[in-house]
Amino acid sequence: MWHLRIVPDDTKFDFTRFRRFSFPLSAVLSIFAIALYFTHGLNFGIDFHGGTLMEIQAKSGQADLAAMREKLSSLGLGEVQLQQFGGPADVLIRVAQQPGGEAEQQQAVEKVRGALGDTVNYRRIEVVGPRVSGELLSYGIIGLFVAIGGILVYLWFRFEWQFALGAMIANVHDLVLTLGFMSIAQVDFDLTSIAALLTILGYSLNDTVVIYDRIREMLRRYKKMPMPELLNASINSTLSRSIITHVTVTLSLLALLLFGGNAIHSFTATMMFGVVLVGTYTSIFIAAPILIYLGVGTGRAAEEEKEAASAAKEPAKPRPTKARV
Amino acid sequence: MLYFSRWRVIGILATAIIVCLFAVPNFISPETVAKWPQWAQRHLVLGLDLQGGSHILLQVDAADVKRQKMDALRDDVRRTLRDAKIGYTGLAIRGDAVEVRIRDDQNFNEALSKLRELSVPLGGLLGSTGQRSLDVTDAGSRLVRLTVTDAAMNERIRQVVEQAVPIIEKRVNQLGLVEPTIQRQGFDRILVQVPGLGDPQRLLDIIGKTAKLEFRLVDTSMSAQDALSGRVPADAEVLYEGKTDPKTPILVQKQVLVSGDELTDAQPAFDSRTGEPVVNFRFNTAGARKFATVTQENVGRPFAIVLDNEVISAPVIREPILGGSGQISGNFTVESANDLAILLRAGALPAKLTPIEQRVVGAGLGKDQIEKGVQASYVGGALVVIFMIATYGLFGIFASVAVAVNVAMIFGTLSLLNATLTLPGIAGVVLTVGIAVDSNVLIYERVREEVRAGRTAIQALDAGFSRALATILDSNITTFIAAAVLFFIGTGPVRGFAVTLGIGIVTTLFTAFTVTRLIVAAWVRWTRPKTVPI
């Protein structure tokens, strides 16, 4: 029976040698992404910047953007952005946060409704006041750090600390590059983006963990194999799985991107970039090779002797890292 | 790894089937489901982004609460000193404090101790915290300064939220909406979620209004224009009538003759002579008596009906109104008369509530989003299944069955928890499909490796499963941590995503550890393969 084989059975790519190339590349890209963040900035949505967002549909079936823009800019609401999206009748209106307090934001909506009247259907109205937007932003940032910390602790518990650290470096790198992408593409940065970032964090770690699991297994089995060779063998033996899984995730995301509609478009685009492009690259070219620099596997021979000695003394319970299900 | 005792097989299948069955009510018409026993009626709740509706977060206006507290405190001080027959001057609110100067030195100490009695311990009989409601200080030269403590303010805000929730509930229910949820959130907020209302502005008008109704006399000692340009009498204030610009200023006495608290009923109606919409109201006994006295004493004078410091109308009292019922007219539409009646029946909010977040999705958009979500799910699922079968053949079919069970279990669990499904939640399910096959991929790739290492079919399958499962556990827990964090920080649709993602991980682990293994074990027992077609 014929089966699709994306990756040949027995690959022997020298992935770790690429670290001389991939590490500088990632460093440069990360610095570029951070620079982008400070110069180009993120396109903060109303969740984090406050303000009003309205999705309207012209009843005539054809929205006259110019006329609408003229009407709305005469309302004295500061910056009003209009954007055609979806069909010809659909317009997204963004009104910047109004100076003053919470009540002023509500009045902005009434003014816009007053100006457009009954010529349009109001499909979505979102108003986020200054207080809530500030809270949402701080929750989002706290959430990212809590997630990173929680995962770090879990990996530290399951692996040695070098693995946890390596995974963290690799995945902060993922987040930084994804933020760079969001800055270039000017994707709306809102609560959904935080969800995308956290999911990217989870999935790209998922990938890293699969490779690390194999590395750990190999470390136990081949006590004398040099580290670069061992890493290569680990990456190569999990390569087929990495690729296949990324294809399935890509297929799911592609379906969401093409058919999921506007509301989750920026979410899926960000995920696509983070999980598919960056995540795979990171696990193979950053997360695994970085273990060499973190000193994994250097004292294996000595450790073996020590272990043998202590095992002779107290043969009680196996180490938790060896637990098998 | 491939051996299952009979009881384990039964246990696994029973768990999977029962969880899947909980998803069934979602596909059957609500009328049929309503006849089922209570425990079987659990179902998914569509999020506001899918069914359309309004999400409004209100916050108690602390400044308004403070103002009320200070006014009440000033009145308390006045009454206390008057009752004790102590002379005072300059009683006023200054900044955050009420200040009063005692006229004579000899009764200053008596005054101070009387005023200190105004400060009561907080927390009632049970949870006394040792904190008091007021700080009463001697500010020198016979001046007493009284401030409301932070603890007392917080207590009051908490009470306001407690009292406001049932009032808002009453108001929203009277609009005839289905399944509104009104809950307190945090310390000083109320979240109102109402599915499927066409006009969010009306909802906002209904829940955002304080609806404090007052009957006061119009001050005719000078015209409102004179008062605006000159001195407003101490016991009066200028309020405005009407919603149209320019609004008419009216000089109204501060004293409230009768308030909306004393209403027993309010109904929209049409005026019998003019045919315009009006609101008929009826006072309780005490209110009716007060209203009768006031109208008797002031025949021929105009009085003002004031709602939230805006004059609705200021008619002239033509004759004493003794029956305790009356009529408010004031350029109402049918809808606004109806709304006012609702507000008056439900009663006034104890303080002003400010909307600080509002998210409204029209029903049309919600429907579109469901369609798109469903379409994306089908396409995503189909693509993944085709790819898996192309890659693993027979085992690809096994994987697809496991993923189908997985998705059914996600919906079953969501229904069991009465969880809310949002558009990002659907995205979470689609992603889970992509991820759930990962567990199968991990197993199969491991089996392929073991086959290459020269093991027999049974050995390879056995080793493949046992080695891959540890990895599956490790890699899914990291994602689960991210989902858990997202659940705690997220609101609305994002939380929906976290829920489906988290549940998806749990069901993925379950299917990988049991269903996939069970299918493969059954296949092994049935065909006794020499080689693995993978």
Amino acid at A5: R
ipTM given for this complex:
0.82
| B454 has a pLDDT exceeding 60 | yes
Q: What is the average pLDDT across B283-294?
A: 88
The torsion region of residue B140 among left (phi > 0), alpha (psi -120 to 50) and beta comes to left
Angstrom distance (rounded) from CA A148 to CA A156: 12
**Out of B479, B493, B534, closest to residue A203 by CB:** B479
Amino acid B128: pLDDT = 59
**DSSP symbol at B302:** B
Rounded to 5 degrees, φ, ψ at B168 are: -65, -40
Contacts with B484 from chain A: Cβ below 8 Å? 150
- Can you tell me which residue has the tokens 């009906």? B305
Q: What is the average pLDDT across B446-466?
A: 87
Of A307-321, B63-77, B375-389, least confident by mean pLDDT is A307-321
Q: Sorting pLDDT into bands at 50, 70 and 90, what band is B9?
A: confident
Contacts with B359 from chain A: Cβ below 8 Å? 124-127
Which stretches in chain A have pLDDT values below 50?
A: 315-325
Work out whether the CA dihedral B190, B193, B197, B198 comes out positive or negative.
Answer: positive
Judged by CB atoms closer than 8 Å, whether chains meet at B494 and A192 is answered as yes
Contacts with A8 from chain B: Cβ below 8 Å? none
Name the residue in chain A with its Cα closest to that of B433. A252
Angstrom distance (rounded) from CA B508 to CA B437: 9
Amino acid A310: pLDDT = 64
CB-count exposure of residue B470 (10 Å: 0-12, 13-18, 19+): middle
**DSSP symbol at B136:** E
Name the residue in chain A with its Cα closest to that of B384. A248
Name the residue in chain A with its Cα closest to that of B533. A1
Contact B358, A106 (CB under 8 A): yes
Name the residue in chain B with its Cα closest to that of A131. B356
Q: Chain A: give the shortest CA distance to residue B422, in Å.
A: 11
Contact B442, B486 (CB under 8 A): no
Angstrom distance (rounded) from CA A201 to CA B280: 61
| B196 has a pLDDT exceeding 80 | no
Task: Determine what percent of chain B falls in helix, strand and coil, rounding each to the nearest 5.
Answer: 55, 20, 25
Among A91, A87, A86, A51, which residue's Cα sits nearest to residue A71?
A91
Q: Report the run of H or E that residue A204 belongs to, with start and end.
A: helix A191-221
Q: What is the average pLDDT across B6-31?
A: 84
Amino acid A188: pLDDT = 84
**Is the pTM here over 0.95, yes or no?**
no
Of A63-72, A301-310, B51-60, B209-218, least confident by mean pLDDT is A301-310
Name the residue in chain B with its Cα closest to that of A159. B474
Tens digit of pLDDT for each residue in B161-173? 998 998 888 888 8
Task: Tell me the three state secondary structure of residue B295.
Answer: helix
Angstrom distance (rounded) from CA A295 to CA A298: 6
Angstrom distance (rounded) from CA B37 to CA B39: 6
Q: What order do you get walking across the sheet with A90-95 strand by strand?
A: A80-84, A90-95, A51-58, A120-128, B353-361, B53-60, B189-195, B181-185
Amino acid A320: pLDDT = 47
> CB-based contact (8 Å) between A213 and chain B?
yes
Tens digit of pLDDT for each residue in B266-279? 889 898 888 889 89
> CB-based contact (8 Å) between A196 and chain B?
no
Angstrom distance (rounded) from CA B534 to CA B523: 13
**Out of A4, A202, A263, closest to residue B423 by CB:** A263
Instruction: Locate B426 and state its tokens.
Output: 């659907």
Q: What is the average pLDDT across B84-104?
A: 87
Count interface pairs A-B at CB distance under 8 A: 248
Instruction: Locate A61 and state its tokens.
Output: 């079936």
Instruction: Locate B331 and state its tokens.
Output: 């350029």
| B284 has a pLDDT exceeding 70 | yes
Query: Chain-wide mean pLDDT for chain B?
Result: 85
**DSSP symbol at B419:** P
Q: Chain A: give the shortest CA distance to residue B153, in Å.
A: 20
> CB-based contact (8 Å) between B494 and chain A?
yes
Judged by CB atoms closer than 8 Å, whether chains meet at A199 and B501 is answered as yes
Amino acid A319: pLDDT = 47
Contacts with B362 from chain A: Cβ below 8 Å? 121-124
Amino acid B53: pLDDT = 86
> CB-based contact (8 Å) between A277 and chain B?
no
Work out whether the CA dihedral B400, B402, B406, B412 comes out positive or negative.
Answer: positive
